[in-house]
Chain A
């Protein structure tokens, strides 16, 4: 049955050849996590919740009617590096052109060459669903004037590896798009100290020992980005998607470069220190934790080969508790990658635990086994629960 053998051969051929550098343009898609917003087939349709309303990622396949089939190489470069669509129409920075602006001509060209080989898909997308006045694109001209500084990233680091890491983090991988706090206009302020987005808190990536990556080795960071898990934590929520679509497919050298750069970031101001005067809350939380959480995460908080530890896990010690509260209320799923295919899920406990119980449990978790982080109030839990119910 020749057909079967052919199928087997094709399966082998379709292995990620770009990993070996034979398809530089496709690798740019990985570095830029284009699929994260534009979808697996790049035909768009992924909804982004922003503080200003809803945006839907457009179709960027070469379809002439609904995609970017009418773009020239120059049009593409302008969109990527200046945030301008053909005719000078400004894009919203939900498209992370402030980061892509740092990409070199050669990389943009390689990406464009690849984009032209993508299968065209007819899929019309209603992109701009923002609230008034944010839905007025003309405003973006002012935004660009105020906040957009397109320039190559200076290679000022101590090593080529550090420079490559700085380029990836601040360029195509656009880590700050999620992990840097935003000002009132949605522009970055403060580098990679963590930020709320789409109901999650994108963690502090600085070298702060408590809330940041200070407790992780370079190998820990590489493991996490490559497989979605390491000895300390599991990627979940939007980061699970970023790992699946992007970082797990990066080369080991690029992952190490990212890790070297992140480890060298100056520490943030931390998470505000331990909860004080919360003894009763912590005590109640301890009992509820043993009943509700210990079967998987262990009474010692150390987790297992499958379930993440809570002891020493920076994800539970972030300055804002949005991600862990959300995880308890709504559940979540870890990244599934070739290196760690399980993708275990955390079930939803929101129907069973009150706001008080969640705040007790998490305040206990944040202040036990060496963890230190401010208490979480029932009101905070209630606010996050309402936001979840509102479907944000």
Chain B
């Protein structure tokens, strides 16, 4: 029997980005909050020691900061007809682990999804007609741009995002992204200083008539004090960002923006190395009364709470709902049910160029350092004569020149020996690349559920991912590859190669950790798991925060929108729910 603990006002599952934001906002409103985190406590100077954080073997190759499959694995298959197998190692994506979650080792690309994303079905139907998107399960998010915009702003100022506004209250700003939706004010910090490759890219894109702008970055272009009074240092462009934690306090994370304030609060408590097994509902299944968790010694506890906020990673949010029977499992055959629906990923394409006599100095890098063009993102361009919808941002970012992983060589180079050594020496400073972060649109047969065979160390079914790149996204990605190819021309490179995406998602090579959907937000309880405030339609004292709420994935990194949704949901809880508990939307 689990030991029963005293009740809290709110129980938060997971203390990553969203858990920290929710905990901060809920404790500010006076609630007694406990966060239960599966992984360890982690802090900058003690765990992200700048004296050894640049250990590429430990962090990037052996993935020291990531979730281990022995703790939680997932199974995957490409289609309903296949039998899913467990991923024995995380490859295609790398979930985070411990306090700060994936926000510890992210790169810091901080985008705002567009106004048209939040009403994507309405927008595309109006512009192209319903037939254009008949094979896609696109749907509006239930929240509008004007509602969510202030939450984007809050997140950007919390993080100290470095960037340049492109659309201030409808006025297009030179040097910014003209395709972004109107923002209330500029970024809190100026853009990062640009490396040579990105500068060259921006020049060539301008020549082609496109609109390059600095990639909005959670790396600090200068020292910053956020609205909570927490200070961050200037980025040193060390090139150890993604897969690493920042030892310099210069990448926004829960550790560098919220935790110094949150951890001091008397009405906040954190329990680390405690894994929540499930959310316990009342017998009618309409109210969450507690969560059951197991600590590092294997002792089980039951933690009651008035509100349960699920803030694990997107995929784990969905699994927690399914294990706890919150909402109904989505069925890809009938299209009924909501939990597991509209799982999406990200669809990428890339170009690599080789020159002679250049000095790109890729070791001057940062997670989010580069120039982007959005001329082919979302619905910024006319799709009426194209056989797809969607698009992606095309960025030339310089993240690193690390010795193990970053060894670009010309195609045809031997994989070892003197010729490889020579090519690697030539390629290091003579190569640059740019890539497309493409949208991923939902189709009926891509979804999440519980695996019928494989179980975790506690005997709970693993999450099963059924996914392949939809025809729409393959067409989109190949169109983007065409654009990338055209974009390489003005560089007059010695060699330029472009990747082309094919069917058959492979879970082994790293692609992106941008898993979205499965517990999507919306205005119809038949087609969404949570309402516009990320509140479960079925169990109104449960809120599910994260990219799990995305009704589709846009052609940009998700964290900015995840942060905005976290503040948006927190505002609904503190402003509406605690005054009048119950469903905030009546369908």
Contact = CB atoms under 8 A, between A and B. Distances in A.
A307 interface: yes
A8 to B, nearest CB: 3
Contact of B224 (A305, A339, A344, A348): A305
Interface residues on A, range: 35 or more
B233 A307 contact: yes
Contacts of B579: 1, 5
A345 B43 CA distance: 9
Contact of A347 (B50, B234, B306): B50
Interface residues of B, number: 38
Given A7-B32, A306-B223, A348 B51 contact: yes
Contacts of A14: 266
Interface string A334-354: 001011111111111101100
A305 B229 CA distance: 11
Given A4-B29, A8-B29, A341-B229, A304 B223 contact: yes
Contacts of B230: 341-342
B192 to A, nearest CB: 16
A8 B30 contact: yes
Contacts of B578: 1, 4-5
A389 interface: no
B248 A347 contact: no
A385 interface: no
A4 B31 contact: yes
B238 interface: yes
Contacts of A110: none
Nearest to A343: B260
B232 interface: yes
Contacts of B267: 7, 11
Contact of B50 (A1, A4, A295, A341): A295
B492 interface: no
Nearest to B29: A8
A7 B266 CA distance: 12
A346 B45 contact: yes
A347 B30 contact: no
B224 A295 contact: no
A331 to B, nearest CB: 6
Interface in A1-23: 1, 3-5, 7-12, 14
Contacts of A10: 30
Contacts of A306: 223, 231-233, 249
Given A306-B231, A341-B229, A348 B260 contact: no
B227 to A, nearest CB: 12
Contacts of B248: 295-296
Given A295-B236, A342-B230, A345-B43, A305 B223 contact: yes
Contacts of A141: none
A339 B225 contact: no
B50 A296 contact: yes
A333 interface: yes
Contact of B9 (A4, A331, A339, A343): A4
Given A306-B231, A307-B233, A351-B51, A344 B30 contact: no
A344 B229 contact: no
A336 B45 contact: no
Contacts of B32: 7
Contacts of B31: 4, 7-8
Nearest to A244: B264
A347 B247 CA distance: 9
B71 interface: no
Nearest to A348: B49
B44 interface: yes
Contacts of B236: 295
A299 to B, nearest CB: 11
Interface string B202-237: 000000000000000000000111001111111010
Nearest to B267: A11
A342 B51 contact: no
A292 B247 CA distance: 12
B231 A1 contact: no
Nearest to A305: B223
B231 A342 contact: yes
A345 B267 CA distance: 24
A214 to B, nearest CB: 27
Nearest to A345: B45
6 contacts: A4-B30, A7-B32, A306-B233, A338-B229, A347-B46, A352-B51
Nearest 3 A-B pairs (CB), nearest first?
A345-B45, A8-B30, A305-B223
Given A351-B51, A351-B52, 13 more contacts: A1-B306, A4-B30, A4-B31, A7-B9, A12-B30, A304-B234, A340-B229, A341-B230, A341-B260, A341-B264, A342-B249, A344-B45, A344-B249
Interface of A: 1, 3-5, 7-12, 14, 292, 295-296, 304-307, 331, 333, 336, 338-349, 351-352
